Amino acid sequence: MKEARQADLFGEMSESPEAQRPVRRKKGSPPVKPSKATVELIHGDFLKRAPAVIADGSIDVIVTSPPYNLNIKYSKYNDDLPRQEYLAWTDRWAAEAKRCLAPQGSLFLNVGVRPREPWGAWEVAEIFRRHFALQNVIHWIKSISIAKADVGDYPGIVDDVTVGHYKPINSNRYVNDQHEYIFHLSHQGNVELDRTAIGVPYQDASNVTRWKSAAGGLHCRGNTWFMPYETINFRDRDRPHPASFPLALPDRCLRLHGVRRIRRVLDPFAGLGTTLVAAARLDLDAVGFDIDEAYLAVARDQLARTGCKVR
Ligand SMILES: C[S@@+](CC[C@H](N)C(=O)[O-])C[C@H]1O[C@@H](n2cnc3c(N)ncnc32)[C@H](O)[C@@H]1O
């Protein structure tokens, strides 16, 4: 199986009209509209730097994926802390994220686990429970198999199908791990969402009139989001980070919160800057932190291609 990839953050993964704005202009295509956003990249530890540079309540949406403590080989970060130390650190950054988040803000927290420690994501969620309400639990589906026999006479499904990428594991105890969590947290659990911004077209148009909420022929996407990585050929060149997420993930989170209500986006653990690129492509100002300058250099390159201002 080819490895999953996110080589070009501007590939097909982003779905909003704004986010689909082409970045590399093809010959004869209309001029590219550069992003109007300003994005700040901060090299350093989120906990140490944020108090001085992020005002209380000034962030409307946080989309992030912290280190999972799964012994992933980052170049500057030790991802193998004693469990209690990791959870104590999680508690500290959750409190700092809470300080930054506006009263009607959303925090989308992506967490994955390894099959032999399946409680890990929920332990992290329990820490966040001290600070936030858990408003939605979304599953990032990386790969799925659908049997024709299960769907019957369904438009477009003519055979058994498996789509997406995953790392197969060799085990007689565990099944392959093909999903991660996205915990949607907010201060009170009452943030109004723009569900149709990431809505799904009704398959059967005759149903549309039955549902009051069917504005524009779209229904709510629900909490299972299929977002595959793209296939890569050369990991170092195409995806120089061990744990980045696809552009579709922050793009969907931002649009679900409601783009018009966002003044500024934050990713405390920016990595290659995927959240920041998604924000820039929606013309949203953003700020990101990472302790690794090499990842931020890639982020800077990707951001430059959106035409946004990078500081
Ligand atoms: C799971 S990765 C984030 C990947 C990112 N979502 C992307 O798509 O590229 C976590 C990142 O957190 C960074 N990191 C670890 N500890 C940090 C800290 N205390 N402050 C800021 N960044 C940190 C690591 O260098 C790593 O790039």
In angstroms, rounded to a whole number, what is the distance separating the alpha carbons of residues 140 and 180? 5
Give the relative orientation of helices 83-100 and 120-129 as an angle to the nearest 10 degrees: 40
- The reported pLDDT for the residue numbered 230 is 72
Q: Ligand 1 centroid vs 171 CA: distance in angstroms? A: 29
What mean pLDDT is predicted for residues 243-253? 94
Separation CA 227–CA 63 (nearest Å): 16
What is the predicted pLDDT for the residue at 18? 38
As a whole-number percent, the residues of the chain with pLDDT over 90 amount to 71
76 lines ligand 1 (CB under 6 A): yes
239 lines ligand 1 (CB under 6 A): no
- State the residue for tokens 């408003």: 135
pLDDT in tens, 73-103: 777 778 788 899 999 999 999 999 999 999 9
Flag whether pLDDT at 5 surpasses 60: no
The residue-averaged pLDDT of 200-225 equals 77
Mutate to test the pocket of ligand 1, among 14, 291, 302 (most ligand atoms within 8 A of CB): 291
Q: Is the pLDDT of residue 197 over 50?
A: yes
86 lines ligand 1 (CB under 6 A): no
- Is residue 20 pLDDT above 50, yes or no? no
- pLDDT at 158 exceeding the cut of 50: yes
Q: How far is the CA of 81 from the centre of ligand 1 (A)?
A: 15
| Of the options 3.40.1110.10, 3.40.50.150, 3.40.1390.20, 3.40.50.300, the CATH number for the domain spanning 3-7+36-310 | 3.40.50.150
Alpha helices in 181-262 (DSSP H): 235-238, 248-257
Cα–Cα distances (Å) from 33 to 132, 211, 252, 281, in that order, read: 38, 37, 21, 10
Domain coordinates of the chain in residue numbers?
3-7+36-310
Nearest Cα to Cα of residue 264 among 250, 275, 279, 277: 279
The pick from 41, 54, 77, 124 for probing ligand 1's pocket by mutation, whose C-beta has the most ligand atoms within 8 angstroms, reads 77
pLDDT tens, residue by residue, 21-59: 434 445 555 556 899 999 999 999 999 999 999 999 999
Residue length of the chain: 311
- The three-state secondary structure class of 196 is helix
Rounded to an integer, what distance in angstroms lies between the CA atom of residue 200 and that of residue 216?
10
Identity at 7, one-letter amino acid code: A
Which of the listed ranges 12-21, 76-85, 243-252 does the model predict with the highest average pLDDT? Answer: 243-252
Name which residue leads in pLDDT, 172 or 153. Answer: 172
Residue 31: the pLDDT is 56
H-state helical runs in the chain:
46-53, 83-100, 120-129, 148-151, 235-238, 248-257, 274-281, 293-304
